[in-house]
Amino acid sequence: MTGLAFLIPVALGLGLLGLAGFFWSIKNGQFDDADGAAMRILIDEEDSL
């Protein structure tokens, strides 16, 4: 039973971490241009120099 005292806070903490990460990414505009993000990986950066 003492295992619970560790495991439950760990489980909740990890969940909260994920939630915080999600909130951060929304606020940071990571979801503003989902299609564009998929395209940008194809851009050859060296061309722009």
Partner 1 sequence: MTAPTRNQAAIALPTADFAVPAMRCAGCIAKLESGLALQSGIVNARVNFTAKRVTISHLPEMTLPQLVAAIANVGFEAIPLSESGVEDENRDAQRLLKALAVAGFAMMNIMLLSVSVWSGATGVTRDLFHWLSAMIALPTVAYAGRVFFRSAWGALRKGHTNMDVPISIGVTLTTALSLYETFTHGPHAYFDGVVMLLFFLLTGRWLDAVMRDRARDGVSALLKQRASGAMVLHADGQSTWIEAKGLKPGMVMLVAAGERLAADGILTEGCSSFDLSLLTGETAPQSVIAGSIVHAGTLNLDAPVHIEVTATGADTAIADIARLMEQATQSKSHYVRIADRAARYYAPAVHSLAAASFLGWMAVGASWHESLLICVAVLIITCPCALGLAVPAAQIVVAGSLMRAGILVKDGSALERLAEVDLAMFDKTGTLTLGRPMPDNLDQATDAQKAILLALTRASRHPLSEGIRRTLEIEGVKAASVGHVREVAGAGIYATVDGQPVSLGRPDRDIAHDGLASQLQVEGQDAFVVHLSDQLRPEAAACVTALARLGISSSILSGDRAESVAPIARSLKMTAQTSMQPQDKLDAIARQTAAGHKVLMVGDGLNDGPALAAGHASIAPASASDAGQNAADLVFLGDSLSPVATAIRAARKTQKIVRQNFMLAIGYNILAVPLAISGTVTPLIAAAAMSGSSLVVVANALRLKNAASAR
Question: Residues 28, 21: contact at Cβ < 8 Å?
Answer: no
Which of 2, 3, 6, 48 binds partner 1 (CB under 8 A)? It is: 48
Which of 19, 24, 28, 30 binds partner 1 (CB under 8 A)? It is: 19
- Tokens for 36, please give them: 């564009």
Regarding 2 and contact with partner 1 (CB under 8 A), the answer is no
Interface residues with partner 1 (CB under 8 A) are 1, 4, 8, 11-12, 15-16, 18-19, 22-23, 26, 32-36, 39-44, 47-48
